[in-house]
C-alpha cells in the first residue's frame, strides 16, 4: 500500500518529507515530541492529570524494556515486574539506608537489574517460548515473595520514607516536577531503545524472532543475543523502578505483582510489538483508559477487559504497528553506476580475502592458494536411528572451483551440508576448512570462519525488508560493541552506513536493488532465492553452499542463476552446489560428486560423471531389476 | 515420620485438585498450543455455580448424594458452556494468527471472568455449607485421614480415569491425539478439527469446574479471585509434567500439591511459591521439556 501511495504526487511528497525527517537524528525528534507533551500537560493539566501522565511515563519506560525482550527478540516474559521491583528496591534502599542521591542510585539500579536479567536469562536460553513464559512468571513471583520475606527490605511493609529526587539542591516534589524527571528518563530510554533497534543487535533480534535456525546459520550468535535481550530489558525495568520508588515515596511487594507484568505486556501488544511509538500509545491507553472509565466504577475493569479482547480481535497487530517496508531504503546514499558496484564488490571482497589470509597465516595456519584443498570432508558418517543418511563420505573441494553434489532424493546431500555448516554434528568423521576442524562448532562460528549457505526450503526473515535480510547477513563483519550501538557513536554510524551500502551492492549483484524495500515474502519464489544468495554472500565468505538454488525457477531464471554463480566464482569464492537440474549442474560445475543412499559413488569432471555406469544405475536403476519386472508385467 | 505422612495426605488431596485444572491446560495446549489463562478462573466460576445451587437454591438440604450430583454436574455443564463461548467469540478468530495476540486475549478473558464474577456474586467471601460431608475421619497409624479427603481424591481419580479412557478409547479421543501431532494431516484424514477443539474446551472446563466445587467443599471459603492462584499452580503443574502430556499433568499436579504441603509444614507458608517455582525452574533447566514432555515443533 505504501508503494502504491508513493506513486501518487501527494504520496511522493509525503514519502520525501518522511525521508527528510528520517534523516534528522532520532534523539532530536524524541526531545521535541516529549518537550511538547510535557509543556502541554504541565500548562493545561491539573495535578490529577499530571499524576496520570507520570504513570504513563513509568509504564512507557517499562514497555520499552519489555519490548526489547518480547517485541524484538520474541522471548515471552510474564515476570517483567521482577525487574521493576529490583530497580525500585535497589534505589529505595540506597536512598534510605545509605542516604544516596536519587540520581546517583540510578546507575546501580540499572546495573542490578541488568545482572538480574543475565541471571534469569542464562539458564533459560534454550527453553521453548511457552516454557519460558512460566519460568519468567515464576521468577517474577519468586522475586516478589523474596522481598516480602526479607526483613532488611521491610518485609511486607516495604521501604518507607524514600526521599524525593534532589538535583544540586533543587528538590523535585510536585507532580509537575516528577513529570519532568519522568520525561527526562523516558527520553533516555526511548533514544537508547531506538538506537538498539537500528543497530545490528536490533536486526539480529528480529531475525531470531522470525527464524532462529536461519539466523544462526547466517552468522547471528542467537544465544548471546537472547542473553543481551534479557540484560537490556532488565536495565530499562530498573530505570523505571528507581523512578517509581522516588515518586511514590513508599514501596512494598504488592506493587510488583503478576498483574503488573501482564499490564506491561498489554502495553506493548496493544501498541504493536516492536514499535516504539506503539509503546507510548499502549502505555497511554493502559493507564489512562481505566481513569477515563472511573465513572463506571464497579464495571471499570470488566469494560477494560472487554475492550482489550475486542481490540485483539479487530486489530491483532496493535494500534501503531511497526512497518518494516521502506519505500526508499537507500535514500541519501551516494548513487553508484552498475559497473562501479561490481568493481567495488570485487575490490572489497579481495581486501577481505587478503586480510583473512593474512590473519590465517599469522596464526600459523597454511593458506591454500587457488586450486589447493580448501574443504576436506573425511569419513563423515551421520545416522538417524537405523538409517545411515551419510555413510563414510570423503572428498576435497579445491579453492576457487564450483563443486556440485548430485544424487537421487534421500541421497544425503542436505545432511552433508548440515554437517559441514554445524547444524548437525556428524556421528563420525571430520570436516576441515582451511586446514582447521569445524565439527562441533556452532553454526554462527562456522559462518565467521568463512562458510555461507542457503537453504533448500527458503528461509528468509519474513517480517523484515529485503535489504534488512541482507544486512543481517553482514552481522559477522560488524566490529562495533553493544554500548556503541546504544550511544550510536560515530564509529557505529559509519559501520551502519557501510552495512547499508554493502547490502545495496549485494542486492544489485543479484539484480534485486529495485525491490530492496519490500518485505521478503512479497517477492517471487525465484527472487526470494536470490535474496538468500545475497544474504549468504554478504559476510564475504570463502566458501558458499547452495542447496537447490534452481528449484522452482523457470528456464530464464535458471540462466540468470548460472550467470550469478559464475560471477560469484569470479570473485574468488568457492562454490558447492546441490541441484537436481542436470543441464545446469553439468554446465557450471568443475567437478561433481554423486551421493546415493549416503555413499559417495562417483567423483569427477562432468563428462566422466555422465558416462559413469554406477551413476547411471543410481538414477535409472539396473537394467535387470526395475526395467526387467516392468517389461515382464507388460508382457 | 507421622508428620511427614500427614503432610503427604494433605498434599495429595490438594494436588489432585491442581491435577484436574492442569489437565485442562494440557488438553487445550496439546491441541491448539494455547495457554488458556482463563482455566483457573473457570474453576472459580464452577465453584460459584456450585455454591449458588447448594446455598442460594438450598439444594444442600436435599439428600446428600442427590445434592452432590447436582452440585457437580450442573456447574460442569455451565462452565463448559462458558468456555465454549470464550472459544467461539475470543479465540476462534485468532487461532491462525499471532501467538502473542491470542495469549493476551486469554489474559483478557481471565480478567473478564473475574470481574464478571465479582459483578454477579459480589466481592465478599462466600462459604460452602461446612458440614455437607461428614467432617470426621479415622487414623491410619499416626495419620489422620478425613472422609472428605477420601471422597474428593476418589472423585478426582475417577474423573482423571474417565478422561484417560476417553482419550485412549474413543474415536473422538483418537482424533484429539491425532490433532495434537499434526493439524493439517488430521484435517486431510477427514477429522472435523473444529469439533475436536470444542470437545477439548468442554473437557477442560468440566475438569476445572469439578475442581472448583471440590475446593469449595474442602476449604469452605470461595472468592472471585481464587482462580488466579489455582490457575498459576495448575499451569506450573502442567509445565512440570510436560505441557501437552496427560499423565504428566496428573503427576505434576500431585507433585506441586506435595511440594506445597511440605514447604508449608516444614518451612513456612510464605515460601510456598518460591519453592514451587524454584523446583520448576530447576527441572526445566535439567530437562527442558518437563518430566514427561517430548520435543514438539515451535510455533510463534
Look up cell 454477579; give the residue: B120
Query: For residue A77, what is the nearest residue in chain B, using CA coordinates?
Result: B100
Tell me what pLDDT residue B300 has. 30
- Render pLDDT for B210-230 as a digit per residue (tens, 0 to 9): 999 999 999 999 999 999 889
**How many domains would you assign to chain A?**
4
Mean pLDDT of A436-441: 92
Q: Which of A491, A500, A482 is nearest to A192 (CA)?
A: A482
Cβ <8 Å between A131 and B94: no
Any CB–CB contact under 8 A between A190 and chain B?
no
Domain that holds residue A345: 335-367
Task: Give domain status of residue A18, yes or no.
Answer: no
- Domain boundary assignment for chain B: 2-286
> What is the CATH classification number for the domain harbouring A506?
3.40.50.300
Any CB–CB contact under 8 A between A142 and chain B?
yes
- Render pLDDT for B31-83 as a digit per residue (tens, 0 to 9): 888 888 899 999 999 999 999 999 999 888 888 889 999 999 999 999 999 99
Among A22-26, A361-365, A413-417, name the one with the lowest average pLDDT: A22-26
Scanning chain B, the segments in alpha helix (DSSP H) are 2-32, 39-51, 64-86, 99-121, 147-169, 171-181, 183-188, 193-219, 226-241, 246-262, 272-286
Reading the block at residue B296, the C-alpha cell is: 514438539
Which among B101, B228, B277 is the nearest to A269, CB-wise? B101
Residue A200 and residue A297 in one domain: yes
Cβ <8 Å between A138 and B100: no
Residue A183 and residue A273 in one domain: yes
C-alpha span between A116 and A80 (Å, rounded): 11
Cα-to-chain-centroid distance, residue A446: 18
Residue A529 and residue A605 in one domain: no
Cβ <8 Å between B232 and A126: no
Tell me what pLDDT residue B107 has. 86
Q: Could you tell me the CA-to-CA distances from A554 to A183, A508, B141 in Å, in that order?
A: 57, 21, 82
C-alpha distance from A320 to closest chain B C-alpha (Å): 14
Question: Per-residue pLDDT for B100 more than 70?
Answer: yes
Residue A152 and residue A61 in one domain: yes
Chain A partners of B123 at a C-beta cutoff of 8 Å? none
* Whether the Cβ atoms of residue A473 and residue A534 lie closer than 8 Å to each other: yes
Residue A372 and residue A362 in one domain: no
Facing residues of A451 across strands?
A: A543
Please name the residues in contact with A229: beta carbons below 8 A apart, sequence gap of 6 or more: A68, A69, A72, A73, A75, A121, A205
Mean pLDDT of A595-599: 90
Reading the block at residue A48, the C-alpha cell is: 490529577
* Whether the Cβ atoms of residue A141 and residue B277 lie closer than 8 Å to each other: yes
Query: For residue B88, what is the nearest residue in chain A, using CA coordinates?
Result: A313
Cβ <8 Å between B107 and A298: no
Domain B2-286 in CATH 2.20.25? The answer is no
Q: Which helix (H) or strand (E) holds A402?
A: strand A402-406
What b/e sequence results for A457-467 when a residue is b if at least 16 CB atoms lie within 10 Å of its CB, and e otherwise? ebbbbebbbbb
Task: Give domain status of residue A35, yes or no.
Answer: no
Chain B partners of A131 at a C-beta cutoff of 8 Å? 239, 243, 284, 288-290
Among A344-348, B14-18, B153-157, name the one with the lowest average pLDDT: A344-348
Residue A172 and residue A124 in one domain: yes
Measured in degrees and rounded to the nearest 5, phi and psi for residue A251 equal -120, 150
Task: Give domain status of residue A419, yes or no.
Answer: yes
Question: Per-residue pLDDT for A629 more than 60?
Answer: no
Chain A partners of B108 at a C-beta cutoff of 8 Å? 305, 308-309, 312
- Render pLDDT for A523-567 as a digit per residue (tens, 0 to 9): 998 999 999 999 999 989 999 999 999 988 899 999 999 999 999
Among A540, A559, A581, give the residue marking a domain's end.
A540
- Count CB pairs under 8 A between chains A and B: 122
Question: Per-residue pLDDT for A314 more than 90?
Answer: no
Q: Could you tell me the CA-to-CA distances from B102 to B26, B91, B106 in Å, in that order?
A: 17, 7, 6
Burial degree of A115 (CB within 10 A; 0-12, 13-18, 19+): middle
Answer with the residue of higher pLDDT: A128 or A323. A323
Q: Name the percent of chain B lying above pLDDT 90.
A: 53
Q: How much is the mean pLDDT over chain B?
A: 89
Cβ <8 Å between A302 and B116: yes
C-alpha span between A87 and A243 (Å, rounded): 9
State the helix-helix crossing angle for B246-262 and B272-286, rounded to 10 degrees. Answer: 140
Among A140-154, A383-397, A475-489, name the one with the lowest average pLDDT: A475-489
Cβ <8 Å between A124 and B281: yes
Cβ <8 Å between A138 and B300: no
Which among A127, A145, A317 is the nearest to B284, CB-wise? A127
DSSP string, A476-516: GG----HHHHHHT-HHHHHHHHHHHHHHHHHHHHTT-GGGT
C-alpha distance from A339 to closest chain B C-alpha (Å): 43
Given pLDDT bands bounded at 50, 70 and 90, which one contains residue A22? low
Stated pTM of the model: 0.87
Residue A484 and residue A516 in one domain: yes
Tell me what pLDDT residue A338 has. 72
Q: How much is the mean pLDDT over chain A?
A: 88
The number of residues in chain B equals: 300
Mean pLDDT of B126-151: 86
Task: Give domain status of residue A12, yes or no.
Answer: no
Residue A78 and residue A158 in one domain: yes
Question: Per-residue pLDDT for A3 more than 70?
Answer: no
C-alpha span between B71 and B76 (Å, rounded): 9
* Whether the Cβ atoms of residue B119 and residue B48 lie closer than 8 Å to each other: no
Given pLDDT bands bounded at 50, 70 and 90, which one contains residue B201? very high
Query: For residue A149, what is the nearest residue in chain B, using CA coordinates?
Result: B270
Cβ <8 Å between A130 and B105: no
Please name the residues in contact with B202: beta carbons below 8 A apart, sequence gap of 6 or more: B80, B83, B84
Reading the block at residue A251, the C-alpha cell is: 514501596
Mean pLDDT of B175-196: 88
Cβ <8 Å between B300 and A266: no
Residue A273 and residue A343 in one domain: no
Task: Give domain status of residue A186, yes or no.
Answer: yes
Which among A128, A130, A146 is the nearest to B35, CB-wise? A130
- Render pLDDT for A182-234 as a digit per residue (tens, 0 to 9): 999 999 999 999 999 989 999 999 999 989 999 999 999 999 999 999 999 99
* Whether the Cβ atoms of residue A594 and residue A407 lie closer than 8 Å to each other: yes
Which among B101, B281, B288 is the nearest to A312, CB-wise? B101
Given pLDDT bands bounded at 50, 70 and 90, which one contains residue B102? confident
Query: For residue B274, what is the nearest residue in chain A, using CA coordinates?
Result: A142
Question: Per-residue pLDDT for B299 more than 50?
Answer: no
Tell me what pLDDT residue B298 has. 39
Which among B118, B270, B280 is the nearest to A145, CB-wise? B270
Task: Give domain status of residue A29, yes or no.
Answer: no
Query: For residue B116, what is the nearest residue in chain A, using CA coordinates?
Result: A302
What DSSP character marks residue A323?
A: P
Query: For residue B277, what is the nearest residue in chain A, using CA coordinates?
Result: A138
Query: For residue A122, what is the nearest residue in chain B, using CA coordinates?
Result: B285
Question: Per-residue pLDDT for B163 more than 90?
Answer: yes
C-alpha span between B295 and B293 (Å, rounded): 7
Of A302, A315, A322, which to mutate for an interface test with B (greatest number of B Cβ within 10 Å)? Answer: A302
- Render pLDDT for A59-114 as a digit per residue (tens, 0 to 9): 999 999 999 999 999 898 989 999 999 999 999 999 999 999 999 999 999 999 99
Q: B259: helix, coil or strand?
A: helix
Of B34, B105, B299, which to mutate for an interface test with A (greatest number of A Cβ within 10 Å)? Answer: B105
Query: For residue A315, what is the nearest residue in chain B, using CA coordinates?
Result: B101
* Whether the Cβ atoms of residue A458 and residue A528 lie closer than 8 Å to each other: yes
Residue A441 and residue A378 in one domain: yes
Query: For residue B97, what is the nearest residue in chain A, using CA coordinates?
Result: A316
Tell me what pLDDT residue A635 has. 37
Residues 306-335 of A with CB under 8 A from B: 306, 308-309, 312-313, 316-317
Scanning A173-275, the segments in alpha helix (DSSP H) are 175-197, 200-210, 212-217, 222-248, 258-271
Cβ <8 Å between B97 and A76: no
Given pLDDT bands bounded at 50, 70 and 90, which one contains residue A623? low
Residue A234 and residue A382 in one domain: no
Task: Give domain status of residue A34, yes or no.
Answer: no
Of A129, A134, A263, A290, which to mutate for an interface test with B (greatest number of B Cβ within 10 Å)? Answer: A134
Q: Which of B94, B71, B57 is nearest to B215 (CA)?
A: B71
Any CB–CB contact under 8 A between A156 and chain B?
no
Residue A73 and residue A175 in one domain: yes
C-alpha distance from A271 to closest chain B C-alpha (Å): 12
Q: What is the ipTM of this complex?
A: 0.84
Which among A76, A142, A308 is the nearest to B108, CB-wise? A308
Amino acid at each position: 500500500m505504501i508503494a502504491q501511495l508513493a506513486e501518487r504526487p501527494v504520496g511522493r511528497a509525503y514519502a520525501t518529507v518522511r525521508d527528510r525527517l528520517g534523516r534528522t537524528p532520532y534523539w532530536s525528534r524524541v526531545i521535541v515530541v516529549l518537550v511538547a507533551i510535557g509543556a502541554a500537560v504541565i500548562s493545561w493539566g491539573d495535578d490529577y492529570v499530571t499524576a496520570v501522565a507520570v504513570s504513563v511515563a513509568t509504564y512507557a519506560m517499562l514497555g520499552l524494556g519489555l519490548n526489547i525482550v518480547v517485541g524484538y527478540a520474541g522471548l515471552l516474559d510474564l515476570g517483567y515486574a521482577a525487574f521493576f521491583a529490583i530497580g525500585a528496591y535497589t534505589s529505595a534502599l540506597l536512598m534510605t539506608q545509605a542516604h544516596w542521591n536519587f540520581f546517583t542510585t540510578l546507575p546501580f539500579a540499572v546495573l542490578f537489574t541488568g545482572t538480574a536479567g543475565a541471571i534469569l536469562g542464562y539458564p533459560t536460553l534454550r527453553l521453548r517460548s511457552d516454557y519460558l513464559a512460566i519460568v519468567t512468571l515464576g521468577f517474577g513471583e519468586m522475586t516478589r515473595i523474596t522481598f516480602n520475606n526479607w526483613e532488611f527490605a521491610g518485609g511486607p511493609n516495604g521501604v518507607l520514607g524514600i526521599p524525593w529526587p534532589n538535583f544540586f539542591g533543587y528538590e523535585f516534589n510536585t507532580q509537575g516536577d516528577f513529570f519532568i524527571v519522568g520525561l527526562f528518563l523516558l527520553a533516555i530510554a526511548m533514544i537508547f531503545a531506538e538506537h538498539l533497534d537500528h543497530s545490528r543487535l536490533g536486526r539480529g533480534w528480529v531475525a531470531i524472532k522470525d527464524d532462529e535456525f536461519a539466523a544462526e546459520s547466517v552468522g547471528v550468535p542467537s544465544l548471546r543475543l537472547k542473553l543481551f535481550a534479557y540484560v537490556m530489558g532488565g536495565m530499562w525495568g530498573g530505570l523505571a523502578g528507581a523512578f517509581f520508588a522516588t515518586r511514590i515515596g513508599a514501596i512494598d511487594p504488592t506493587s510488583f505483582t503478576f498483574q503488573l507484568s501482564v499490564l506491561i505486556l498489554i502495553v506493548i501488544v496493544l501498541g504493536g510489538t516492536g514499535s516504539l511509538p506503539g509503546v507510548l500509545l499502549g502505555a497511554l491507553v493502559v493507564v489512562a483508559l481505566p481513569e477515563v472509565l472511573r465513572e463506571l466504577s464497579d464495571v471499570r475493569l470488566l469494560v477494560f477487559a472487554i475492550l482489550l479482547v475486542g481490540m485483539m480481535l479487530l486489530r491483532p497487530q496493535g494500534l501503531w504497528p511497526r512497518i518494516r517496508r521502506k519505500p526508499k531504503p537507500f535514500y541519501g546514499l551516494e548513487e553508484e553506476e552498475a559497473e562501479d558496484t561490481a568493481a567495488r564488490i570485487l575490490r572489497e571482497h579481495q581486501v577481505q580475502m587478503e586480510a583473512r589470509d593474512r590473519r590465517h597465516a599469522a596464526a600459523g595456519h597454511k593458506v591454500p592458494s587457488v586450486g589447493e584443498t580448501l574443504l576436506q570432508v573425511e569419513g563423515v558418517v551421520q545416522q538417524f536411528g537405523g538409517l545411515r543418511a551419510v555413510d563414510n563420505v570423503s572428498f576435497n573441494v579445491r579453492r576457487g572451483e564450483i563443486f556440485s553434489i548430485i544424487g537421487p532424493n534421500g541421497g544425503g546431500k542436505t545432511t552433508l551440508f548440515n554437517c559441514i555448516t554445524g547444524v548437525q554434528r556428524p556421528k563420525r568423521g571430520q570436516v576441515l576448512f582451511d586446514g582447521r576442524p569445524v565439527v562441533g562448532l556452532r553454526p554462527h562460528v562456522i559462518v565467521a570462519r568463512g562458510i555461507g549457505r542457503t537453504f533448500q526450503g527458503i528461509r528468509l526473515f519474513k517480517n523484515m525488508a529485503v535489504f534488512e535480510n541482507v544486512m543481517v547477513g553482514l552481522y559477522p563483519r560488524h566490529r562495533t560493541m553493544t554500548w556503541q550501538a546504544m550511544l550510536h557513536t560515530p564509529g557505529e554510524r559509519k559501520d551502519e552506513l557501510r552495512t547499508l551500502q554493502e547490502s545495496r551492492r549485494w542486492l544489485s549483484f543479484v539484480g534485486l536493488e529495485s525491490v530492496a524495500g519490500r518485505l521478503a515474502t512479497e517477492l517471487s519464489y525465484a527472487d526470494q532465492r536470490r535474496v538468500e544468495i545475497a544474504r549468504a554472500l554478504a559476510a564475504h565468505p570463502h566458501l558458499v553452499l547452495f542447496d537447490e538454488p534452481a528449484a522452482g525457477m523457470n528456464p530464464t531464471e535458471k540462466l540468470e542463476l548460472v550467470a550469478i554463480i559464475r560471477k560469484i566464482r569470479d570473485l574468488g569464492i568457492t562454490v558447492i552446489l546441490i541441484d537436481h537440474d542436470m543441464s545446469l549442474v553439468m554446465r557450471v560445475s568443475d567437478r561433481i560428486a554423486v551421493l546415493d543412499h549416503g555413499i559417495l559413488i562417483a567423483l569427477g569432471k562432468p563428462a566422466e560423471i555422465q558416462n559413469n555406469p554406477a551413476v547411471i544405475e543410481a538414477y535409472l536403476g539396473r537394467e535387470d531389476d526395475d526395467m526387467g519386472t516392468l517389461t515382464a508385467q507388460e508382457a | 515420620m507421622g508428620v511427614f505422612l500427614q503432610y503427604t495426605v494433605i498434599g495429595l488431596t490438594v494436588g489432585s485438585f491442581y491435577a484436574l485444572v492442569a489437565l485442562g491446560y494440557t488438553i487445550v495446549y496439546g491441541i491448539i498450543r494455547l495457554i488458556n489463562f482463563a482455566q483457573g478462573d473457570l474453576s472459580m466460576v464452577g465453584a460459584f455455580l456450585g455454591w449458588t445451587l447448594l446455598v442460594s437454591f438450598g439444594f444442600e438440604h436435599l439428600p446428600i448424594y442427590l445434592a452432590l450430583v447436582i452440585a457437580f454436574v450442573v456447574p460442569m455443564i455451565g462452565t463448559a458452556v462458558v468456555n465454549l463461548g470464550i472459544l467461539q467469540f475470543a479465540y476462534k478468530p485468532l487461532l491462525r494468527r499471532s501467538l502473542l495476540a491470542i495469549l493476551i486475549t486469554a489474559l483478557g478473558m481471565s480478567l473478564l471472568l473475574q470481574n464478571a464474577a465479582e459483578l454477579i456474586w459480589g466481592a465478599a467471601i462466600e462459604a460452602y455449607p461446612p458440614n455437607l460431608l461428614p467432617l470426621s475421619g479415622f487414623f491410619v497409624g499416626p495419620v489422620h485421614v478425613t472422609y472428605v479427603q477420601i471422597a474428593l481424591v476418589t472423585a478426582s481419580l475417577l474423573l482423571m480415569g474417565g478422561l484417560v479412557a476417553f482419550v485412549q478409547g474413543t474415536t473422538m479421543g483418537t482424533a484429539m491425539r491425532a490433532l495434537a501431532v499434526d493439524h493439517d494431516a488430521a484435517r486431510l484424514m477427514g477429522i472435523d478439527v473444529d469439533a475436536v477443539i470444542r470437545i477439548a474446551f468442554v473437557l477442560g472446563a468440566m475438569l476445572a469446574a469439578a475442581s472448583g466445587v471440590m475446593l469449595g467443599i474442602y476449604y469452605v471459603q470461595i472468592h472471585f479471585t481464587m482462580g488466579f492462584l489455582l490457575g498459576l499452580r495448575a499451569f506450573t503443574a502442567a509445565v512440570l509434567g510436560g505441557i501437552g502430556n496427560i499423565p504428566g499433568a496428573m503427576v505434576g499436579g500431585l507433585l506441586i500439591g506435595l511440594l506445597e504441603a511440605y514447604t508449608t509444614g516444614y518451612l513456612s507458608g510464605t515460601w510456598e511459591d518460591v519453592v514451587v517455582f524454584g523446583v520448576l525452574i530447576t527441572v526445566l533447566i535439567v530437562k527442558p521439556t518437563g518430566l514427561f514432555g517430548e520435543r514438539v515443533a515451535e510455533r510463534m
